[in-house]
Amino acid sequence: MIRRVREAAGHAPPGVKVAIGDDAAVLALAPGAVLVATTDLVIEDVHFRRSSASPADVGWKAMAVNLSDIAAMGAEPRWALVGLALPDSTEVDAVDALYAGMREAAAPHGVVIVGGDTSTSPGGWMICVTLLGEHAGSPRLRSGARPGDAVAVTGTLGRSAAGLALLQAPTAAGVGEDTRAELTRAHLRPAARVAEGRWLGAQPGVHAMMDLSDGLATDLGHVCRESGAGARVALDLLPVAPATREAARGLGQDVLDWATGGGEDYELLLTCEPGAVDSLARGLLATTGTRLTAIGRIESSGDAITYVDAHGQPVTVRAGYAHFHE
Amino acid sequence: MIRRVREAAGHAPPGVKVAIGDDAAVLALAPGAVLVATTDLVIEDVHFRRSSASPADVGWKAMAVNLSDIAAMGAEPRWALVGLALPDSTEVDAVDALYAGMREAAAPHGVVIVGGDTSTSPGGWMICVTLLGEHAGSPRLRSGARPGDAVAVTGTLGRSAAGLALLQAPTAAGVGEDTRAELTRAHLRPAARVAEGRWLGAQPGVHAMMDLSDGLATDLGHVCRESGAGARVALDLLPVAPATREAARGLGQDVLDWATGGGEDYELLLTCEPGAVDSLARGLLATTGTRLTAIGRIESSGDAITYVDAHGQPVTVRAGYAHFHE
């Protein structure tokens, strides 16, 4: 298995002095850089179901959720360690596909697998990826939001929740095949905003940043609590993709529930100087092709978040996100 | 749960710029140091049984097996990330005890928990610890053994296997309570040879080093394969504790099976200049109180390992180690 993982991991790039096969990996950061480190678990029947996610999808997601955490720091992801527990009955092809999915998510960002551990699992599949990155300056934290800041998000919200709903509803009236494909892919193969995070994290106007893994309501709550501030969010400003609206109509769901309460979009949430949001949006679009949308502002009101409709009236939104769990 | 883990992890020491609570930890290595990183899984009913290991034992072991990997590189362990999946029914006291066990193993080495992830587990307990350390020079690798090198081990061999055998045999004739306590502790609370690894790894005569997690026969095989060399081991030189011999007699087991095939001793295995072994042994004893014992030599014979008895006759030994798994 070590040999298999070593081959699957490919050749060691610069910075990797010792990779898979010794007691530990030996890695060299750029001079003066700080180390950024995160770990995420991806567990069968909690975070995915094998009936709807292929082994390659599972590998992709296990890597992508970690890439997203590094992206949220504005850091450069470099090296991954993979703890992998699989039942004895797992086919070798499935193991290969799992690693291929991890590599497919990692390689565009220059990330290589440098170590890990494998075990039999008496239960289902369990993947624990640790991702190590580096940052030449000061990573953007959840705690950096200041009253008066604009609140903005990359991309669109609710696509992953829409994709999950479609996976659970094989037939949905009025939902086209392209829409289904786009949204299920958004759920199964989320794209971590690595280039976006690095660019945004390097802009002086950006004060706080995190990734949207548990849904806007929950995650903005983290920013507010860590920053000792509140927020006001205009629901009509939330960016929602046409495909997501189409799926909501087809399934009879409220698209705002997905946008505020749906998790796993892995978009970036940031707060910035209120005057900087337009130039940030233009710069991000020019640099990465990704949109940045202002959705509200940080307020000095405790750590409460107020959601308002198009008429400025406060409304209650779906908060929190129960991971896929029966 | 994040709050609980944050509190359990204690205050952030120097080098920790951002710990638990953000998307990732931010850590500063000493200038010029290389990063050393390892991940190990500890899984219920594979690596431990809850009937014989307390939550604190499990936490201890999950940390200790990673400390041992860093020790084997001659590196300084610094920071841990903990991926933890537990059934919904797990008592809060058990979670606290698990973290307390991790801290108890980590704290004497200055290691702090700086991040991680928690999840519900549809199966049993699953802990994935990633340990990050640093090294100011060149870590000692498995691949450094040279023909003519002496082969040596720290401490004694077979205690963990003896402890496991005693846990599975609640009554064993002629095995005293002190012996039982010593050996079951060796199995449940292995001591990583961190100070020993740092001292040995800094000595110029030491060429290769690894930790004994899978048993001497398997692990020396790794050193030989990675170094393109063979080895000859004198079984009568293997250091075995009196308690281990007493348990073998009481259980009617062959103590050499435990010494060569038993895993989880987490002693260090090294190869060194043949003339250096005596001074290394004296220095290690003076510095750490731990014995170093020469048990054989590296040979240029392919990657085969020959075990010989007290008369120099080749004998077949138990190789490999099946982790605790029914």
Q: Which pLDDT score is estimated for B88?
A: 95
Which tens digits make up the pLDDT trace of B174-214?
A: 899 999 999 999 999 999 999 999 999 999 999 999 999 99
What residues of chain B score a pLDDT lower than 70?
Answer: 1-12, 319-326
Is the per-residue pLDDT at A14 higher than 80?
no
Q: Which pLDDT score is estimated for A118?
A: 94
Could you tell me the maximum CA-CA distance found in chain A, to the nearest angstrom? 62
Is the per-residue pLDDT at A74 higher than 60?
yes
Q: Which pLDDT score is estimated for A324?
A: 41
- B250 Cα to chain A: minimum distance (Å): 32
ipTM: 0.91
Q: Which pLDDT score is estimated for B322?
A: 43
Sort A236 into a burial class: Cβ within 10 Å, 0-12 / 13-18 / 19+.
Answer: exposed
Name the segment(s) of chain B with CATH classification 3.30.1330.10.
2-135
Which tens digits make up the pLDDT trace of A174-213?
A: 899 999 999 999 999 999 999 999 999 999 999 999 999 9
pLDDT bin (cut points 50, 70, 90) of residue A7 is low
**CA–CA dist B48, A268 (Å, integer):** 40
Name the segment(s) of chain B with CATH classification 3.90.650.10.
142-315
Closest among B129, B136, B54, B128 to B96, alpha carbons compared: B54
Q: Which pLDDT score is estimated for B55?
A: 98
- B292-299 vs B150-154, strand pairing mode: antiparallel
Tokens 């690798």, residue? B141
Calculate the CA dihedral of residues B296, B297, B302, B305 and round it to 10 degrees.
0
Q: Which pLDDT score is estimated for A5?
A: 59
Q: Which pLDDT score is estimated for A325?
A: 35
Predicted TM-score (pTM) of the model is 0.92
Three-state DSSP state, B95 = helix
Two tokens at A309? 């409709």
pLDDT bin (cut points 50, 70, 90) of residue A322 is very low
Q: Nearest CB to A36: which of B24, B41, B226?
A: B24
pLDDT bin (cut points 50, 70, 90) of residue A2 is low
pLDDT bin (cut points 50, 70, 90) of residue A239 is very high
A-B contacts at Cβ under 8 angstroms: 206
Three-state DSSP state, A181 = helix
Q: Which pLDDT score is estimated for B208?
A: 96
Q: Between A318 and A250, where is the model more confident?
A: A250
Torsion sign across C-alpha atoms A253, A258, A264, A266:
positive
Please report, as a single letter, which amino acid is at residue A164.
Answer: L
Question: Strand pairing partners for A163?
Answer: none
Chain A contact present for B206, CB below 8 A: no
Q: Write the DSSP symbol of residue A142.
A: G
Is the per-residue pLDDT at A125 higher than 50?
yes
Residues 102-161 of A with CB under 8 A from B: 114-124, 126, 128, 130-133, 135, 139, 141-143
Q: b or e along B180-195 (b: 16 or more beta carbons within 10 Å of the residue's beta carbon)?
A: bebbbebbbbbbbbbb
Closest among B96, B87, B92, B98 to B60, alpha carbons compared: B98
Q: Nearest CB to B85: which of A43, A114, A133?
A: A43
Residue A21 C-beta-side C-alpha neighbours within 13 Å: 24
Percent of chain A with pLDDT over 90: 84
Calculate the CA dihedral of residues A307, A313, A316, A320 and round it to 10 degrees.
-10
What are the residue ranges of helices labelled H in chain B?
A: 2-9, 55-72, 92-106, 159-167, 177-188, 194-201, 216-227, 242-251, 255-261, 277-288
Classified by CATH at the fold level, domain A2-135 comes out as 60s Ribosomal Protein L30; Chain: A; (3.30.1330)
Best A39, A118, A143, A220 member to test B by mutation, with max B CBs in 10 Å, is A39
What chain B residue is nearest to A130 in terms of C-alpha separation?
Answer: B130
CB A83 within 8 A of CB B39: yes
Mean pLDDT score across all residues of chain A = 92
Query: Is A37's CB within 8 Å of B69's CB?
Result: no
Q: Nearest CB to B22: which of A26, A40, A141?
A: A141
Query: Is B28's CB within 8 Å of A36's CB?
Result: no
Q: Nearest CB to B39: which of A75, A81, A142?
A: A81
Chain B contact present for A1, CB below 8 A: no
Q: Which pLDDT score is estimated for A16?
A: 83
- A215 Cα to chain B: minimum distance (Å): 14
Query: Is B34's CB within 8 Å of A40's CB?
Result: no
Is the per-residue pLDDT at A163 higher than 70?
yes
A82 interaction partners in chain B (CB closer than 8 Å): 39
A84 interaction partners in chain B (CB closer than 8 Å): 41
Residues 6+ positions from A256 with CB-CB distance below 8 Å = A235, A238, A317, A318
Closest among A290, A104, A258 to A194, alpha carbons compared: A290
Which tens digits make up the pLDDT trace of A249-259?
A: 999 999 999 99
Residue B282 C-beta-side C-alpha neighbours within 13 Å: 4
Which tens digits make up the pLDDT trace of A83-92?
A: 999 999 999 9
A218 interaction partners in chain B (CB closer than 8 Å): none
The predicted model gives A138-155 an average pLDDT of: 94
Residues 26-55 of A with CB under 8 A from B: 26-29, 31, 34-41, 43-47
Q: Between A221 and A21, where is the model more confident?
A: A221
Q: Which pLDDT score is estimated for B8?
A: 58
Q: What kind of architecture, by CATH, is found in domain B142-315?
A: Alpha-Beta Complex (3.90)
Q: Which pLDDT score is estimated for B1?
A: 56
Q: Which pLDDT score is estimated for B323?
A: 45
Percent of chain A with pLDDT over 70: 94
